[in-house]
Structure 1
Amino acid sequence: MSIVRVIARPMLAASFILSGIDRLRHAEQTAEQLSGVLSRVSDALPVAASEKTLARVVAGTQIGAGVLLASGKFSRGAAMLLTLTTGLSTFVEYRSADSLTKEAKSHRRSQLIKNISLLGGALLASVDTAGKPGLGWQAEHLIKSGKKSTKKQLKKADAGVRALAHDVKGH
């Protein structure tokens, strides 16, 4: 892993981890803020779950994914989870933020820009293969290799059949 990744992943993850801890500490406020979304999720679940419990799950997911990203373990999947949870939070925070005064509008805009920047960083991390080929490339390479191998085997089989046919004709 490059030194940039060693430094940058924890730097990016820190904001998500701290945000998740804050959301977990203030689960009631988080549940209230995300109530529109969490109530739909709660209704869709086969098991009854309160909005406060779901808010804790979102916060725990953000903390866990942040720790995974920071440590470089399952970082692409963790970054995708962070993108989803942060995207949801960004949307809800923007819609519910105070915009009555000029200062409030400025703060709302600053928070939106910060959150969008974090989303961009998480999206980049979700596609970062750390210099290793991604699954798409690996699958394509495997198919090409399989085609080459099959072609060679068919050529060998054809040559064998032709040689056998030649031997049968000669006898």
Structure 2
Amino acid sequence: MTLVRVIARPLIASSFALSGVDRLRSAGTTAPQLKPVLAGLTRVVPSAAAVTGNEKLVGQVLGATQVGAALLLGIGRFSRVAALLLAVTATVNTLVDYRSADGSTTEGKKARRSQLLRNLSLIGAVLLATVDTNGRPGIAWRAEHLAIDAKKSAAGLGRDARKQLQKADQAVRKTAADVVGS
């Protein structure tokens, strides 16, 4: 792991870990803020109504997910999956924060815009972390090269099998010629 990754991952993760702990501590008070976002999700995906009906539980799950994924990202374990989870939870948090922020005054609008840009920046950072392969080839590259190698091996195996079949054919013809006497 490079020095940049050693420093950057915990720095990105720290904001999410603190946000997750805050969400866990105040899940009851943030539940009303989640309600409009979850209602919109329920309209789009009606089968999610069973899950989105309990705003406090959803808030706790979001907080716990953020804490766990932030810890994994910070220590560099399952960092791509952890970053993806953080991107999803950060998107939900951004929607909640933007809808619940005060936009009636000039100062409120500035604060709301600043918070939105900060959240979008963090989402961008974790999206970059989702595609960071840590200097190793990604799964798509590995799968492509595995298929190429398998194709080469199968082609080589085919040539060997044809050679063996030709040798067997020649042996059978020789034995037949010896038996018949031609």
TM-score, normalising length from structure 2? Answer: 0.86
- What does the per-residue CA deviation read over 1:105-160, in whole Å, with 9 as the maximum and x for residues that have no partner? 11111111100000000001111110111111111111111101100000000111
- Structure 2 partner of 1:29: 29
8 A contact 1:69–1:78 mirrored in 2: yes
8 A contact 1:42–1:54 mirrored in 2: no
Match of 2:63 among 53, 59, 62: 59
- Structure 2 partner of 1:43: 49
Q: Unpaired runs of 5+ in structure 1?
A: none
Query: Which has the larger displacement, 151-160 or 32-41?
Result: 32-41
- Aligned letter for 1:128? D
8 A contact 1:13–1:66 mirrored in 2: yes
Moved over 3 A (4+): 37-42
TM-score, normalising length from structure 1? Answer: 0.92
The question of 1:87 aligning with 2:75 is answered: no
Match of 1:158 among 136, 157, 162: 162
Rg (Cα) greater in structure? 2
Q: Secondary structure at the match of 1:34?
A: helix
Deviation for aligned residue 1:38: 4.0
Match of 1:136 among 136, 140, 161: 140
> In the aligned structure 2, how far is the partner of 1:166 from the partner of 1:15?
75
Percent identity over paired residues: 49
Q: Unpaired runs of 5+ in structure 2?
A: 176-182
Q: How many matched pairs?
A: 169
> In the aligned structure 2, how far is the partner of 1:24 from the partner of 1:54?
10
8 A contact 1:42–1:51 mirrored in 2: no
> In the aligned structure 2, how far is the partner of 1:164 from the partner of 1:149?
22
8 A contact 2:24–2:63 mirrored in 1: yes
- Aligned letter for 1:125? A
Deviation for aligned residue 1:54: 1.8
The question of 1:70 aligning with 2:82 is answered: no
- Structure 2 partner of 1:3: 3
8 A contact 2:30–2:59 mirrored in 1: yes
> In the aligned structure 2, how far is the partner of 1:30 from the partner of 1:145?
53
